[in-house]
Amino acid sequence: MHARSISYNPASGSWRAAPIPGFTSLQKTWLTMGGSLTAHLRALGRVDVHVTREAVGLPWPDERDALGLVSRERAWIREIALAVDGVPYVAAHSVTPLDASLGVWQAVRRLCTRPLAELLYGNVGVIRSELSSRRINARHPLYDLAAARIAGPLPYSLFARRSVFVKQQMPLMVTECMLPALWERLARDRKTGRCVVERACLYVDRPSEF
């Protein structure tokens, strides 16, 4: 295993540390709040993890650039959907260099249907970058991953966020795309005064950030 720099920048290319103008207050909250997204979703109902892919492959170009990987460098890739009470709310894509998946991040290969959050939160050896976000459309590969979980007409664009978790100088990037069903649920809850997640997120443990 070769050493890597601890400096990884998820806010590169079209990804921004501050949400772009035009995001609603609800979108800004969910795209920037720390802690475990799985834990936030549990405040809305029962969360199930549906694994759609676990394999050795090539990271997306914007992931490769953010993680400082060389061209054609292989990685361990995991793709899932997070459903609340049976309805998909989030499509997620995680990637770590192949050597890291055989070393400090080898536990990601044994998660099965457990959420990745179990490895990340409460672990003092894990540090997290800032969150970055952007709109994505059909030109980004994350869109296809998310579209497979959307019932009904597909929107022109979707909202996603990502961050890098580092353990012993080895990175694990997690990208999360919020699906339309999530925004619809949150809008209903806000109308009825049930914004429990926005209040509870202040008390959820999170890894140290760099």
Q: What is the pLDDT of residues 36-79, one digit of tens each?
A: 999 999 999 999 999 999 999 999 999 999 999 999 999 999 99
pLDDT in tens, 90-148: 999 999 999 999 999 999 999 999 999 999 987 889 999 999 999 999 999 999 999 99
Please state at what angle helix 25-32 crosses helix 180-191, rounded to 10 degrees.
Answer: 120
CA gyration radius, the chain: 16
Which tokens go with 93?
């894509």
Contact 59, 69 (CB under 8 A): yes
SS3 (DSSP) at 70: coil
Residue that has been written with the tokens 């990175």 in this structure: 171
Which tokens go with 122?
């409460």
What residues pair up with 163 in beta bridges, in sequence order? 174
pLDDT in tens, 151-170: 989 999 999 999 999 999 99
Domain 25-209 class? alpha beta
∠ CA 204-93-125, rounded to 5°: 45
CA torsion angle for 125, 113, 132, 77 (degrees, to 10)? 90
Which tokens go with 99?
């050597």
Annotated domain spans of the chain: 25-209
